[in-house]
Structure 1
Amino acid sequence: MTASPTEVSSSPASPRPVRMAATLIVLRDANAGLEVLMLRRAEKANDQNSGASVFPGGVIDAHDRGLHGCCSGLDDRAASERLEVPDGGLDYYAAAIRECFEEAGLLFATDSAGRPVTLDGLPPGQLAGMRHAAEQGTDALLSLCAQHGWKLAADRLAYFSHWLTPPGMPRRFDTRFFLATMPEAQSVRPDGRETVEHMWLRPADAVDPARGLKLMNVTRRILLELARFQSVQELMAHARGLKHIPRVMPRLADGPKGRRPVNMEEPSYEEVGFVDPDGEGGGRYAHEAGLAMRLSARVLRVTGEAGDGSGTLVHGYFVGTAGGDCALIYASPASRAHAEALAAAAPGHVRWLLSTQAPSEDALRELWPDASAAAPAPGEQIRIGDATLRALPGDGDAQSRRFLLVEEGTLFTGASDAPAAGEEQVRWIAPRQGFLHSRR
């Protein structure tokens, strides 16, 4: 059955605010190898991460900048250079330490003699009181440091990763991830409010489906990266040696298994960003026979099986103004089912049949007998409403053609996946098979 065209919104909603956040990944060495601290979040209504296993972390507090004077081994200038921000980089380090203390009961700090702070020897009531005070606001942690002569050990944290929540999510976070070695003479104590359980797990075990953990995409991806390392020392050395840490932003898209994040290395990523930059819906991570998908106001793509019996999925592209004249760009031959899907999805009167391969008699000629199937010469242009198609030479085959949608810089091609020399106006590639992608 032919799917209804997937629409692209013409009036994006107001962008959701992005909140700055910091996360601390606590590590230790065990007999079986490197282990990471995981906390299970409490079950809460209307929380997209309810019950998930996470690393300690949270949103940057408005007063975290007040903790700069309590940080040792790193000043704001050096921290900002490391995070590649104009200023306020030390806010993230301070927030990561504060959140870890609040959620896990671990405090990365040193005493007046420069020795790591020990908490296990404190009376339980005193430690609980300290954590409760810190949870009430950053100023309380500032007072604790002043009272005990402590310094927050920002230099023990190694910057490791940078993720931005996909557009379209109810809440969005721009999060910096740090690594640190489990402090001695301290014990993990979930706060019982935000976090209710803790686990020490090998990263590979944490992502094993048999373990049954609920993991967010970003957590799973970072765990997979951590699984490459055998020891804390090896991982920390790697992190400290990183010169530039790019921001990673998945995008939400739909497909046979429902909506999910699409990661940046996936083939569909660029197309999802092109058709749905604000995460409102419409992007796809998988092709399906019969799917009609609007890529832009001028382009509608219809996917179907090729006519050679291979079962390979190929695309036909309608170019033109909806309700007016249009051209169909295709790679012949089309299967009967694909031809029927094209006919059902045609957004207007098909006046041109433009093949990117050597023209042949097929089902499309039967459907649109009045459409011109003449192959325009390289350089010739076809005006279709507010769209202009320019014929470009094929690749080696005198009968093949490529077509450029001038207004959008989109190149429709049946073979080559790259523009030729001198075709700087090409910005996007619309291939016979596969996803729309930017010029390489």
Structure 2
Amino acid sequence: MASGSVKSKAIRPRDAASVMLLDRSRGAVRVLMGKRSKAHVFMPDLYVFPGGRRDSADNRAQWAGNIHPTVRESLLVAYRRRAPESRLRALLLAALRELHEEASIAVGVPSADTRTLPFLPDLTNLRYIARAITPPGYPRRFDTHFFALFADEVGVDPADIRDSRELEDLTWIDVNDISAVQMPDITALILSELRTSLEFDASLPFGRPVPFYHTRHGRLIRDLL
């Protein structure tokens, strides 16, 4: 290394999770998306799914319904069977917590203990759809796990959504026509994976292989978990 040069420290990706909440009440499947505030350092003014990083509190949160066994197995594979059960469950808990914080949607059983959430999250119906790690060079990097959930399966009214400081202009987007909004390239790729899964079986059965997007020597790689 040349004298006086400084070697930049690689940013380690942080665990994160997103929910693709799906509405199939009108025939064509729609997915809930919102625009990130322009104040965000990471992906400002772009439309994304509700979601965010896993917090330490998610590891200790209570729940009403546990992870589906096939989702648990895929997550174990993703972490090379080195992650404790609490970390795997915390990913899904983070996804539902963020859905509540960003869209005022509660998926679970009402709870009197409001120190964290006013409900106990039900993880049962979350399908594991994809995983993606932010490439090096971004000011933030995340190891994001994308889960899908049908609104009607969990009693969510598609009209009962509210914008937040985190996500503005919450809207339902036809998964087959995403031209109306601007989104990150990886989000478009994940939506493509969702479309493929829906075309294979519109019920999104559990147990399908999970695509994993990451970079190697500057190239985008797609593997399967």
* TM-score of the aligned structures, taking structure 2 as reference length: 0.79
Distance 1:51 1:264, change over 3 A: same
Aligned to 1:140: 116
Deviation of the 1:231 alpha carbon: 7.5
Per the alignment, do residues 25 and 232 of structure 1 end up closer, same or farther by CA in structure 2, a change over 3 Å counting?
farther
Residue type of the alignment partner of 1:81: E
The answer (yes or no) to whether the contact 1:16–1:171 under 8 Å persists in 2 is yes
Q: Which amino acid aligns with 2:166?
A: E
Q: How many residues align?
A: 207
Deviation at 1:250, TM superposition (A): 3.9
SS at match of 1:36: strand
Counterpart position of 1:184: 155
TM-superposed deviation, 1:79: 5.8
Q: Partner of 1:220 in structure 2?
A: 188
Find the counterpart in structure 1 of residue 221 from structure 2.
264
Larger radius of gyration: 1
Equivalent residue number for residue 18 of structure 2: 23
Work out the CA distance in 2 between the residues paired with 1:97 and 1:232: 26
Q: 3-state DSSP class of the match of 1:162?
A: strand
Q: Secondary structure at the match of 1:154?
A: coil
| Greater RCO (CA < 8 Å, at least 6 residues apart) | 2
Deviation (angstroms), 1:32: 4.6
Alignment partner of 2:132 out of 163, 169, 173: 163
Q: Contact 1:34–1:232 at 8 Å: present in 2 too?
A: no
% same residue: 26
Whether the aligned pair in 1 keeps the contact of 2:107 and 2:122 (CA below 8 Å) is yes
Q: What does residue 100 of structure 1 align with?
A: 99
* Counterpart position of 1:172: 141
Q: Deviations over 1:185-242 (max 9, x none)?
A: 5411121x11111111112211x3xx2x2211111101222233558972521xx122
Distance 1:36 1:246 in 2: 19
Q: Which amino acid aligns with 1:241?
A: G
* Cα distance between partner residues in 2 of 1:18 and 1:157: 23
Letter in 1 for 2:74: R
Q: Which among 29, 33, 44 is matched to residue 34 of structure 1?
A: 29
Quick check: 1:23–1:58 contact (8 Å CA) kept in 2?
yes
Cα separation, 1, equivalents of 2:103 and 2:199: 22
- What runs of 5+ residues in structure 1 fail to find an aligned partner? 1-9, 113-129, 146-150, 254-261, 266-440
Task: Please give the secondary structure, in 1, of the residue aligned with 2:177.
Answer: helix
Of residues 158, 168, 173 in structure 2, which corresponds to 1:196? 168
Once residues 230 and 220 of structure 1 are traced to their aligned partners in structure 2, the CA distance between those partners, rounded to angstroms, is 15
Q: Hey, what does 2:45 align to over in structure 1?
A: 51
Question: Who is 1:82 aligned against?
Answer: 74
Q: 1:232 to 1:194 in 2, by over 3 A?
A: farther
* SS of 2:188 mapped into structure 1: helix
Deviation at 1:39, TM superposition (A): 0.9
Instruction: Tell me, yes or no, if the aligned pair for 1:39 and 1:55 is still in contact at 8 Å.
Output: yes
- Partner residue in 1 for 2:90: 91
- Aligned-partner SS, 1:234: coil
Q: Displacement, 1:110?
A: 2.9
* Residues 29 and 42 of structure 1: CA distance in aligned 2, closer, same or farther (over 3 Å): same
DSSP 3-state at the match of 1:100 = helix
How far apart, CA to CA, are the structure 1 residues paired with 2:135 and 2:194?
Answer: 22
1:245 deviates by 2.6
CA-to-partner distance for each residue in 1:294-317, whole Å, 9 max, x for gaps? xxxxxxxxxxxxxxxxxxxxxxxx
**Counterparts in 2 of 1:228 and 1:81: CA distance versus 1, 3 Å:** closer
Structure 2: distance between partners of 1:232 and 1:43: 37
Separation of aligned partners in 2, 1:15 and 1:82: 27
Output the TM-score relative to the length of structure 1.
0.42
Supply the distance in 1 between the matched residues of 2:146 and 2:184 (Cα, whole angstroms): 14
Distance 2:204 2:188 in 1: 19
Query: What amino acid sits opposite 1:58 in the alignment?
Result: G
Q: Secondary structure at the residue paired with 1:178?
A: strand
CA distance in 1, matches of 2:133, 2:171: 26
Give 1:331's aligned residue. Answer: none
Cα deviation, 1:247-283, whole Å, max 9, x if unaligned, reads 3114796xxxxxxxx5326xxxxxxxxxxxxxxxxxx
Tell me, yes or no, if structure 1 residue 248 matches structure 2 residue 200: no
Shift of 1:58: 0.2
Residues 220-239 of structure 1: pairs in structure 2 closer than 5 A: 220-228=188-196, 234-237=202-205
Residue from 30, 55, 67 that aligns with 1:61: 55
Gaps of 5+ in 2: none
CA contact (8 A) 2:20 2:31 kept: yes
Query: Counterparts of 1:261-410 in structure 2 under 5 Å?
Result: 263-264=220-221
Quote the Cα distance in structure 1 between the aligned partners of 2:58 and 2:70: 17
Q: Distance in 1 between matches of 2:211 and 2:128?
A: 12
**For each residue in 1:32-79, what CA deviation from the matched residue of structure 2 results, as whole angstroms up to 9, or x when unmatched?**
5111111111221x6231111100000101110111x3241338x986
Secondary structure at the counterpart of residue 116 of structure 2:
helix
